[in-house]
Amino acid sequence: MIAVENLSHHYGGQPTLLDLGFRLAPGEKAVILGANGCGKSTLLKILDGLIAPGAGRYLYDGEAITPLRLKAGGLRRRFRQEVGLLFQNPDVMLFNPTVADEIAFGPRQLGLADVDDRVAHWAGKTGVTHLLPRAPFSLSGGEKQKTALAALLAVEPKLLLLDEPTAALDPRSTGWLVDFLAGLKQTVLCSTHNLSLAPELAPRALVLGEDHRLLYDGPIERFLMDETALVQANLAHIHSHRHTYFRAPAHHHHPLKKGVVEHRHFHTHDW
């Protein structure tokens, strides 16, 4: 469905992405993992045809995509309907007076007849029915994210690009999103730096390193077991700290009693 070939991107001389290459088959789900600033959002914007790759190519269904090529009516219409991006900051994609109008925005552009039914359907699916008359800007972060998601789904895209969709969600909504995505038939590419959540979102991981290159592409479980790779991607670190414990964990050879022990400990970031 998508193919990325030798793709690089710079912001004013600073590299943001270097020589990336991967493919995604129709219906496949993958997560993009990477520390802050390694280029996740930039990659998703390129895949949504919003910014041009500096070098290399991005093909959607065999068609090279750049902002320039999307100026042509036919390709643009198909691409914008089939590909949806949930921005990291959902504020930037919500500009209609009510949540209902927001969800109807896409279907109206397509001139669909059953706009109201679609709004009701997707509002129900994403749990924002009770918010329909509200103004999107007045909602909480998580509610905005669900509204934006409903607005994207209402045009039934084939490829969903999600930029840290769980960042503003509480645990219950996060659980809901995990189940919801699992039930979608769409191709989904989702960025996150939440390691414990990642394997629930997709079986495949694309890991961007701090050098802005693709550090790993493959089954997520294997990446998560590779401590060296985790540290290299700056998604985990090793540091000394103090533990209060009641029972010694099997891998630590501490006496079996309550106490405080300082030791080195392998850590992943989940925040």
Partner 1 sequence: MPALPVDRARLIAYLTALVTFSFLTSPLWLGAGLAAVLALAGRQGPRLLRRALLATLAFSGAASATYAALSWWTQHRLPLDWLLAANLRVLLMALLTFLFIARVNLFRALDFSRRLTFLLTLAVSQSLGLRRTLDDFRLGLHSRAIRPAGLKARYRAAARAAAWLLDRALANAHESAQALQSRGFFK
Ligand X SMILES: Nc1ncnc2c1ncn2[C@@H]1O[C@H](COP(=O)(O)OP(=O)(O)OP(=O)(O)O)[C@@H](O)[C@H]1O
57, 5 Cβ separation under 8 angstroms: yes
Closest CA to 11 of 58, 62, 45, 60: 45
Minimum CB distance to ligand X, residue 145 (Å)? 15
According to the binding rule CB under 8 A, does residue 48 interact with partner 1? yes
Question: Applying CB under 6 A, which part among 30-38, 91-99, 136-144, 245-253 lies near ligand X?
Answer: 30-38
Question: Applying CB under 8 A, which part among 86-94, 170-178, 230-238, 246-254 lies near partner 1?
Answer: 86-94
Closest CA to 142 of 121, 123, 175, 165: 165
Count of residues binding Mg ion (CB under 5 A)?
Answer: 3
String of contacts with Mg ion for each residue 81-110, x by CB under 5 A: -------x----------------------
Per DSSP, 228 falls in state H
3-state helix, strand, coil in the chain (%, to 5): 35, 30, 35
According to the binding rule CB under 5 A, does residue 41 interact with Mg ion? yes
The amino acid at 14: Q
What, of Mg ion, partner 1, ligand X, none, does residue 36 touch, CB below 5 to 8 Å by kind?
ligand X
According to the binding rule CB under 6 A, does residue 38 interact with ligand X? yes
Count of residues binding ligand X (CB under 6 A)?
Answer: 13
According to the binding rule CB under 6 A, does residue 174 interact with ligand X? no
**d(Cα 167, Cα 192) in Å, to the nearest integer?**
8
199 forms beta bridges with none
According to the binding rule CB under 6 A, does residue 54 interact with ligand X? no
According to the binding rule CB under 8 A, does residue 85 interact with partner 1? yes
Q: Which residues have a Cβ under 8 Å from the Cβ of 79 and sit 6 or more positions away?
A: 49, 60, 63, 65, 70
According to the binding rule CB under 8 A, does residue 155 interact with partner 1? yes
According to the binding rule CB under 6 A, does residue 194 interact with ligand X? no
String of contacts with ligand X for each residue 82-121, x by CB under 6 A: ------x---------------------------------
Closest CA to 52 of 71, 65, 37, 33: 65
Dihedral, 187, 190, 195, 200 alpha carbons, nearest 10: -30
Which residues of the chain form contacts with Mg ion (CB under 5 A)?
Answer: 40-41, 88
Which residues of the chain form contacts with ligand X (CB under 6 A)?
Answer: 11-12, 16, 34, 36-42, 88, 193
